[in-house]
Structure 1
Amino acid sequence: MSATTGAPPVKFTITHHRLPHHTHEAFIDWIVKEHLPLAIPVFEKYGVIDYSLFVTPPPLNDGLKQEIGGLRPTWDFAECDCFIEYTLPDVETIKNIMSDPEWQIAVKDQDQWVDVPRAFVSLGYSTTYLQHGKPVNILS
């Protein structure tokens, strides 16, 4: 729960596409080894609850499209390099992080790596219904 509103934490997601002159592997390496060491202290400062990097290697996505695309011809298949998922105390946290001078340092090389205009952002709530193979949060 958010300390200020009593509302549940929010899930904020953003997709990232690498600039084409970088390999997928180099791009993920940049996020993990260069960006995250600068970003994590900012996340801690603003009480970010969870951060995860959902990496989507092209061979896996291409294989999925080949296998499932025929079964679901109307589906669009993500072509991004990763989804970044944040669980935040509240929506205000997004603005606080993005306006922090330390965040500007953490994203200083972003334009050299990320195709920023292609980002896809979403905000909402997440509820787990199956955890470690067991149902949870199911109303009977």
Structure 2
Amino acid sequence: MAEVKDTQGSRPIKFTLTHYRKPEHTHEAFIDWIVNWHLPRAIPIFKKHGILEYKIFTTPSDMNSGLKAMMIEKRPTWSFADFDCFLEYTVPNIEALNNVMSDPDWPAALEQEPDWVDASRSLLSIGYETPYLLSNGDVVNVPGISK
């Protein structure tokens, strides 16, 4: 297996994955499947291997089409991402992510995935999160600007 280099030491790592649903499912049914079937099987494995956070950023088609219509005039050269959701894992290190995928119970958590996910279109990314504007209005990590 190829090695993934952790270039920033002890900072938590963000691992993201986009998912497109299979066309025979609605967006709502797809998200329902993830939350009510997949996650009850996956979360115990995440906890077992020290996953720090897991979030789903859902992208309903009505919001996507509205945004696309608005942005086409403002940014006509931008491409439009039309996936159904963006999964975000925060992990302490690469080993934790590898341990999840190597866990003997992980295949059972993915058992129905081929029926729901168009994996041929999934996109992966890995890196670090750096906040700049916090939900309480504080500005951080920007030289010369504070609160």
Instruction: Indicate whether the TM-score tops 0.5.
Output: yes
- Residue number among 65, 74, 84 corresponding to 1:71 in the alignment: 74
Amino acid at match of 1:85: E
Alignment of 1:48-127 (within 5 A): 48-127=51-130
Amino acid at match of 1:11: K
Amino acid at match of 1:134: D
In structure 2, C-alpha distance between the alignment counterparts of 1:78 and 1:11, rounded to whole Å: 19
Secondary structure of the 1:92 match is helix
Identify the range of structure 1 (70-79 vs 48-57) with the bigger mean alpha-carbon deviation: 70-79
Q: What residue in structure 2 maps to residue 44 of structure 1?
A: 47
The number of equivalent residue pairs is 136
In structure 2, C-alpha distance between the alignment counterparts of 1:122 and 1:59, rounded to whole Å: 26
Shift of 1:6: 4.3
Shift of 1:55: 0.3
Taking structure 1 as the reference length, what is the TM-score of the superposition? 0.92
Shift of 1:117: 1.1
- Residue number among 129, 132, 135 corresponding to 1:129 in the alignment: 132
In structure 1, C-alpha distance between the alignment counterparts of 2:102 and 2:52, rounded to whole Å: 19
| 8 Å contact from structure 2 (residues 16, 88) kept in 1 | yes
1:14 equivalent in alignment to 2:21? no
Specify every segment of 5 or more residues in structure 1 that has no aligned partner in the other structure, as ranges. Answer: none
Q: What residue in structure 2 maps to residue 138 of structure 1?
A: 142
Identity of aligned residues (%): 52
- Residue number among 31, 34, 38 corresponding to 1:35 in the alignment: 38
Aligned structure 1 segments of 4 or more residues deviating by more than 6 angstroms: none
Shift of 1:60: 0.5
Specify every segment of 5 or more residues in structure 2 that has no aligned partner in the other structure, as ranges. Answer: 1-7
Amino acid at match of 1:121: L
In structure 2, C-alpha distance between the alignment counterparts of 1:139 and 1:11, rounded to whole Å: 24
| 8 Å contact from structure 2 (residues 51, 97) kept in 1 | no
Q: Root-mean-square deviation (CA), in Å?
A: 1.3
| CA displacement 1:120-140 (0-9 Å, x = unmatched) | 000000011111122123344
Amino acid at match of 1:54: F
